[in-house]
Copies of this chain bind each other. A is one copy, B any other.
Amino acid sequence: MFPAKGVKTSSIPGYTYGSKTLATSPVSLEDLARLESTVLWTDDDVAALRRAGEILGPQADRILDVWYGFVGSHDFLIASFAGADGTANPDYLGAVRARFAQWIVDVCSRDRDQEWLDYQHEIALRHTAAKKNLTDGVSSPASVINLRYIIAFIVPLTATIRPFLAEQAPDADEVEAMYQAWFKSVTITAALWAEPYSPSW
């Protein structure tokens, strides 16, 4: 495991990975293992994901520029970051951005153990009416991120990563290996983040 270059994770407001205060995820390690099997996860993916992290971690800020540019260019997406006045709240955007950058690092570098599951559950709740806006003390008219965007975001979070891998990786096969490991990991994450939305999860 490694933190983002130059980032003390303890300095990120609202980032509570590993905190004793987190609730235990309702998702079991067996559920997780089944999800990994479903996305064709292999030991080679673990290694490729770690290598991807060495490339993506130091570029997290540039990646967030791309993602925030995308969100900012669509009214129905940026609406999730509205403050009390109905317009995008820069403090809210900034606070989420810092955790989102750390998320890139965590996806690539953390072991998927109980602590990891518990923090995915925490993030999942922060997309729902149960916890959205609380972490950053925002008074927002947007009380939930709709489930459909948790799922649909698999594409932009995956497709936009390839150029960052390609500009530093030695060959096409290596880019593809890292890209597929990232794709699988983002999909596992989306599946876990869907948990609070449905009794038939």
Contacts and interface: CB of A to CB of B under 8 A. Distances in A.
A146 interface: yes
B183 A155 contact: yes
A40 interface: yes
A64 interface: no
A201 B148 contact: yes
Number of copies: 2
A197 interface: yes
A198 B144 CA distance: 12
Interface secondary structure of A, over-half rule: helix
Contacts of A37: 74, 76
B187 A152 contact: yes
Interface in A50-74: 74
Interface string A21-58: 00000000001001101111000000000000000000
A40 B191 contact: no
A200 B38 contact: no
A197 B151 CA distance: 13
Interface string A141-178: 00010111101111110110000000000000000000
A129 interface: yes
A148 to B, nearest CB: 4
A200 B151 contact: no
Nearest to A148: B191
A121 interface: no
A188 interface: yes
B156 A76 contact: no
Contacts of A192: 148
A194 interface: yes
Contact of A155 (B144, B146, B148, B187): B187
Interface of A: 31, 34-35, 37-40, 74, 76-77, 128-129, 144, 146-149, 151-156, 158-159, 180, 183-184, 187-188, 190-192, 194-195, 197-198, 200-201
